[in-house]
């Protein structure tokens, strides 16, 4: 059974003539069986473009719309949250001013996500609606940076030449000979 928010969003899309009643009903049926969010289904099926969906959600739920790809997000801000959490709740932190944290999210009505973000950050969360692909691309970029950071911290393994015992003894003998031979005058 679709949530009240899904129904409201669906009805708005039909009212705005961005979706037919049949497409909405088909999407609700799929949502019942798959458990996916309505917006994800609508975009995957090609019924609605994700930018349009995000803009309609922002308007319908009286929230601001943002494109996270246009933000510079500091590494300090990103370090507040594990990449796994960003992926699970599909959000990225955009800005922090005092105890106010601004995030871009794809599912702005997910109360569990908002509570977890507040709990971990210790901040009041202000949510902006963002397109799914931009949030996912930003998270992917963060994940790549984390992997590179870990790789740069790990020491390079030392490469040793394999030499036989005879070669090692010859080198030692040569070094001893050089040290014991007086320099030419």
Residue 25 has pLDDT above 60, yes or no: yes
Tokens for 184, please give them: 């030419």
Query: Which candidate, 112, 94, 111, places its Cα nearest to that of 103?
Result: 94
Q: Is the pLDDT of residue 184 over 80?
A: no
Q: Where are the domains of the chain?
A: 4-48, 68-151
Residue 143 class from Cβ within 10 Å (0-12 exposed, 13-18 middle, 19+ buried)?
A: middle
CATH architecture for the domain at 68-151: 2-Layer Sandwich (3.30)
Q: Note the pLDDT tens digit of each residue in 45-91.
A: 999 999 999 999 999 889 999 988 888 888 788 888 998 999 999 99
Mean pLDDT of 117-130: 94
**End-to-end CA gap in the chain:** 99
**Looking at the whole model, is its pTM more than 0.75?**
no
pLDDT at position 181, please? 67
Q: Is pLDDT of 22 > 60?
A: yes
* Rounded CA separation 31/26 (Å): 9
Local structure of 129: helix, strand or coil: strand
Q: How confident is the model at residue 185 (pLDDT cuts 50, 70, 90)?
A: low
Total residue count of the chain as it appears in this document? 185
* Residue 82 CA: distances (Å) to CA of 43, 95, 112, 116, 132: 27, 16, 16, 12, 19
Two tokens, residue 162: 């394999």
pLDDT at 141: 85
Q: Are 95 and 69 in contact (CB under 8 A)?
A: no
Residue 63 pLDDT: 93
| Residue listed under structure tokens 């009643």 | 21
Lowest-confidence pick of 3-7, 114-118, 127-131: 3-7
What was the pLDDT predicted at 74? Answer: 81
pLDDT (tens digit per residue) in 134-178: 999 988 887 887 777 666 555 555 555 666 777 777 877 787 777
Cα separation, 124 vs 68, in Å, equals 19
């Amino acid at each position: 059974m679709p949530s009240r928010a899904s129904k409201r969003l669906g009805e708005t899309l039909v009212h705005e003539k961005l979706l037919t009643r049949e497409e909405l009903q088909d999407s609700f049926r799929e949502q019942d069986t798959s458990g996916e969010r309505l917006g994800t289904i609508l975009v995957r099926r090609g019924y609605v473009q994700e930018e349009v969906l995000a803009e309609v959600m922002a308007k319908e739920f009286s929230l601001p719309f943002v494109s996270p790809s246009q933000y510079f997000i500091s590494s300090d801000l990103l370090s507040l949250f594990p990449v796994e959490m960003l992926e699970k709740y599909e959000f990225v932190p955009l800005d922090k001013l005092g105890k106010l944290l601004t995030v871009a999210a794809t599912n702005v009505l997910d109360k569990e996500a908002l509570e977890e973000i507040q709990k971990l950050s210790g901040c009041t969360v202000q949510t902006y609606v963002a397109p799914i692909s931009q949030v996912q691309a930003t998270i992917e970029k963060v994940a790549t940076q984390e992997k590179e950071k870990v790789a740069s911290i790990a020491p390079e393994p030392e490469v040793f030449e394999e030499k036989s015992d005879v070669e090692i003894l010859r080198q030692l003998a040569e070094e001893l000979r050089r040290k014991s031979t007086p320099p030419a005058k």
